Structure 1
Amino acid sequence: MDTKRAMEIYNSKDTFAVHLGGQSVWIENVDEANGMATVQVGSNPLDTQTVSCDRLKEEGEA
């Protein structure tokens, strides 16, 4: 996923299915300047990772 799309999802009131390595994640923050996103993995709010936006996949995206 590109950084622009990650920002759209982050700023949206709607919910989108986003995955990182097959796991569901919730985008908590997007660093547009560096193309990075901080995501919550699964339902554990303490399990966060900062990853490159291009590692994120929207459901249905190849």
Structure 2
Amino acid sequence: MNVHRAQEILAAEEKIDVECSGVAVWIDSVDSGKGLVKIHAEQNPSDARVVPAQELEEVQ
């Protein structure tokens, strides 16, 4: 996924499913300058980390 799409998903009113390495995640914030996205696992909010936007995949 690119940074722009991550920003769109973050701003969306509806829930858009996103995965990182096969794990369902929520996007918390996007650093477009660095291409990084702060995420946390849907089932484990304490599992927060920062990953490159390219590691995220929108689930259709």
- Shorter-chain TM-score range: over 0.9
- 1:24-43 → structure 2 map (5 Å cutoff): 24-43=24-43
- Paired residues of 1:18 and 1:56 also in contact (CA < 8 A): yes
The alignment's TM-score, normalised by the length of structure 2, stands at 0.94
Task: Give the whole-Å Cα distance in 1 for the aligned partners of 2:24 and 2:45.
Answer: 13
| Structure 1 residue runs of 4 or more that deviate by more than 4 Å after TM superposition | none
- Sequence identity (%): 32
The alignment's TM-score, normalised by the length of structure 1, stands at 0.91
Task: Give the whole-Å Cα distance in 2 for the aligned partners of 1:33 and 1:7.
Answer: 12
Task: Give the whole-Å Cα distance in 1 for the aligned partners of 2:52 and 2:3.
Answer: 9
After superposition, give the CA deviation of every residue in 1:6-44 in whole Å (9 maximum; x if it has no partner). 000001111001000000000001001100000011322
Match of 1:50 in 2: 50
Give the count of matched residue pairs.
60
After superposition, give the CA deviation of every residue in 1:36-55 in whole Å (9 maximum; x if it has no partner). 00001132221101000000
